[in-house]
Amino acid sequence: MSFISYKRAFVESKPILLRKKLTVAEGDPLVACDFLSEKTGLSKALVKKVMINGGAWQISGKRKNRLRKAKKDLKPGDKVEFYYDSHLQEIDTTEIKCLFETRSYGVWFKPANVLSQGTKFGDLGSIERHVEKLRGNDVYLVNRLDKETAGLIVLAYNPKAQRAFATIWSKKVKKFYQAIVLGHLEGEGEINQNIEGKKAVTKYKSSKVLKNTTKIELEIITGRKHQIRIHLNSIGHPVMGDPKYGEGNKNREGLKLIASKLEFSDPFDKSKKSFQSPKLLFEN
């Protein structure tokens, strides 16, 4: 299946969602996979897959740990949660790509419809889990992108590197995006509009006006959740294909937004770094 047709299938198909909070009782199966299969009505093969992918949790007081072992022994009174999202089982992570790495961190490309990190439904379709499996150890997200947004993500390979990037990320890292928006947006400007009571600033510049849309380049000065999408919608030019914000901006190929470029000084050796996404919405 091609990249475009895969995205269409992802957007058009309706997910199957299942949420269960369970307590093991006397007489219940005491092997995790058997117990969950009986309580959910799903096959043991599918339950095992969901468990491996991180959708099952064992609860101990305030602690929640992913329950990945199908043959894990349970006992009466144990509390287990089970979350199944059919879309997570379908997410294609094959286009995830490492662009640059040192012993301390890596710059990676995240395709659209791949999660930045896991959710309670699992972590199979996340770049975080994908890289952990490749490297064989924990990694730490420096930045996050919305599931629908493709582009550049920095992953720290140890807690020290994560802390080092945290000190520079908000003010010393330049973060650029490309978008295709509804309508004609001429020239350049700055959107300074709080999001959930917090300062949020987005700069934009028109690249090319098309028949019904405009290609634009953006730089985010702050990094609020859904910042670009909220800001562009607020000025009447929502991002094409945005499933949450805007009207008249539907697009079967998905969200037309990509984290296209990062510029920063390496927090360890102070060398200047500049990275561009291998996939762009348009050439400058």
Strand 105-110 relative to strand 140-141, pairing: unpaired
| 219 is a domain residue | yes
* Domain of residue 167, CATH code: 3.30.70.580
The pLDDT of residue 221 is above 70: yes
pLDDT of residue 125: 85
Across the chain, what does the average pLDDT equal?
93
| 55 is a domain residue | yes
Q: Quick check: 196 and 172 in contact, CB under 8 A?
A: no
Q: 1-10, 116-125, 190-199, 237-246: lowest mean pLDDT where?
A: 1-10
Q: 59-63, 202-206, 240-244: lowest mean pLDDT where?
A: 59-63
Distance CA 269, CA 68 (A): 39
Both 37 and 77 in a single domain?
yes
Instruction: Using pLDDT thresholds of 50, 70 and 90, give the confidence band for residue 13.
Output: low
Q: Quick check: 188 and 218 in contact, CB under 8 A?
A: no
- Residues of the chain with pLDDT > 70, as a percent, come to 95
pTM metric for this prediction: 0.83
Q: Which amino acid is at 115?
A: L
The pLDDT of residue 2 is above 60: no
| 252 is a domain residue | yes
- Alpha carbon distance, N-terminus to C-terminus of the chain: 29
| 90 is a domain residue | no
> CA–CA distance from 244 to each of 7, 11, 254 (Å)?
17, 13, 12
Mean of the pLDDT values across residues 12-32?
A: 89
The pLDDT of residue 97 is above 80: yes
The pLDDT of residue 3 is above 70: no
- The number of folded domains in the chain is 3
Summarised one tens digit per residue, pLDDT across range 23-53 is 999 999 999 999 999 999 999 999 999 999 9
- Selecting among 28, 146, 242, 269, the annotated active-site residue is 146
Mean of the pLDDT values across residues 226-250?
A: 96
Instruction: State yes or no: is 146 an active-site residue.
Output: yes
Both 105 and 165 in a single domain?
yes
Both 199 and 240 in a single domain?
yes
- Give me the domain span that covers residue 118: 97-172
Q: Quick check: 152 and 141 in contact, CB under 8 A?
A: no
Nearest to 221 by CA among 194, 200, 195: 200
Q: Which of 155, 172, 189 is the last residue of a domain?
A: 172
Segments in 16-83 forming alpha helices (H): 32-40, 44-52
| 217 is a domain residue | yes
The first and second tokens of residue 13, run together, are 């198909």
Distance CA 120, CA 220 (A): 29
Both 167 and 237 in a single domain?
no
Q: Quick check: 143 and 151 in contact, CB under 8 A?
A: no
| 110 is a domain residue | yes
